[in-house]
């Protein structure tokens, strides 16, 4: 039996010391065989560093069992959010799954360990911007080279719901024309290539083309024609980083007087989605624009919008009339009303017709029978 096999027998991974080579081989497999994106690989490595440091700090010799993973999960829950806990556990699961696939372990000690339950909150962590705020932010961009570039960035986020990472990844070659419309191919979050697209609104095409004309005059640095580049003297022509993109947006926010901890770069994307919903976009249309992997995520935006735009609370009326979201206090409401008449109105509204009335009579008669014969004996 080889030294590696001895280390791995009975879940004895020994990844706390000579496991560095194993980790590198696992990450290479994740990249080449599973198509993991660079960001995923970075998250995996960070997660594994946390896991191995914890193993060493806890005095574990390297023998990993399901109980070990559960203990590690508890350690994480004491220190991190549910999202971060699940990221770290995902790295551990992936490593041990690879060990099983490559025949180094019979079963994975991490596979059956569930992730942390995330808070069941339907509210968004970032606020959408008002129409006035979006226009004010766009209005901070002048006709200078920086202004033309920044307006194009803001436009893609405010009108096409792009994420900062998607703006960062965009290349000049991703812009194309289809059916008389300007299209931008998008490399979504977690993807390795641009396999989705957004449609530039017709009245915003000029903004993108204006930047494209300027961009063609700026030499890049051997990259694949990044769409948005730095304009500083030190890094001119290099792809604009996500950090720099967020910095650009933050500066434009401040210039427009848009402040608040809940108003971030993501607020532009949130605003685009919310605005589309308010103007009649369907859930499928919104999902296609936003690139949501889960339809539930899209529906969450619809729920949040409907919650304040048309809340159930405004439909409550004990007098039978609602006008403009408020109960009309009629004389019937003030002096009482006839339940049977209200039942008739309700059955008519719901389309139950006479069948509901007959049911109402049966229930009422049953109630009378109960009063006459409490024991229920016939």
Q: Using CA atoms, how far apart are residues 155 and 161, in angstroms rounded to an integer? A: 9
Minimal CA–CA distance to 199: which of 226, 214, 177, 215?
Answer: 177
For the four alpha carbons of 275, 277, 282 and 288, in that order, the dihedral sign comes to positive
- Domain range summary for the chain, segments of one domain joined by +: 3-101, 131-308, 322-372
Three-state SS at 326: strand
More confident residue, 333 or 202: 202
Q: E strands, the chain, where?
A: 175-178, 181-186, 196-199, 322-323, 326-327
Res. 209 pLDDT band, cuts 50 70 90? very high
Model confidence at 309, pLDDT cuts 50, 70, 90, reads confident
Task: Please tell me the predicted confidence (pLDDT) of residue 365.
Answer: 57
pLDDT band at 202 (very low <50, low <70, confident <90, very high): very high
Tell me the C-alpha distance between 206 and 199, whole Å. 13
> In the predicted model, is pLDDT for residue 12 greater than 70?
no
| pLDDT score for 152 | 97
Mean pLDDT score, 27-36: 87
pLDDT above 70 coverage of the chain, percent: 76
According to CATH, what is the number of the domain 131-308? 1.10.443.10
Region of 305 please: left (phi>0), alpha (psi -120 to 50) or beta: alpha
């Amino acid at each position: 039996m080889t030294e590696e096999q001895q280390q791995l027998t009975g879940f004895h991974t020994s990844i706390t010391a000579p496991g560095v080579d194993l980790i590198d081989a696992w990450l290479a497999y994740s990249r080449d065989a599973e198509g993991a994106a660079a960001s995923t690989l970075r998250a995996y490595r960070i997660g594994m560093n946390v896991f191995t440091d914890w193993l060493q700090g806890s005095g574990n010799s390297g023998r990993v069992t399901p109980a070990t993973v559960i203990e590690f999960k508890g350690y994480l829950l004491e220190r991190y959010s549910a999202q971060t806990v699940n990221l770290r556990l995902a790295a551990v699961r992936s490593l041990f799954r690879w060990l099983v696939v490559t025949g180094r372990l019979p079963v994975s000690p991490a596979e059956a360990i569930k992730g942390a339950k995330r808070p069941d909150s339907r509210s968004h962590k970032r606020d959408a911007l008002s129409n006035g705020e979006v226009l004010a932010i766009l209005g901070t961009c002048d006709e200078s080279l920086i202004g033309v570039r920044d307006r194009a960035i803001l436009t893609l986020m405010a009108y096409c719901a792009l994420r900062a990472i998607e703006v960062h990844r965009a290349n000049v070659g991703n812009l194309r024309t289809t059916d008389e419309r300007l299209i931008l191919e998008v490399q979504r979050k977690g993807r390795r290539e641009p396999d989705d697209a957004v449609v530039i609104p017709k009245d915003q095409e000029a903004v993108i083309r204006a930047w494209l004309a300027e961009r063609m005059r700026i030499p890049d640095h051997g990259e694949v024609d990044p769409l948005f580049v730095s304009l500083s003297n030190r890094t001119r022509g290099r792809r604009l980083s996500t950090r720099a993109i967020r910095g650009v947006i933050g500066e434009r926010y401040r210039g427009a007087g848009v402040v608040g901890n809940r108003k971030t770069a993501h607020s532009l994307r949130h605003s685009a989605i919310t605005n589309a919903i308010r103007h009649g976009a369907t859930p499928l249309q919104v999902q296609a624009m936003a690139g949501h992997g889960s339809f539930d995520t899209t529906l969450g935006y619809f729920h949040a919008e409907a919650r304040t735009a048309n809340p159930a609370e405004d439909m409550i009326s004990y007098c039978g009339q609602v006008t403009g979201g408020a109960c009309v206090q009629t004389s019937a409401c003030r002096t009482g009303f006839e339940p049977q008449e209200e039942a008739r109105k309700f059955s008519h509204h719901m389309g139950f017709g006479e069948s509901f009335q007959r049911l109402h009579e049966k229930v009422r008669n049953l109630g009378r029978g109960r009063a006459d014969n409490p024991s229920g004996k016939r």
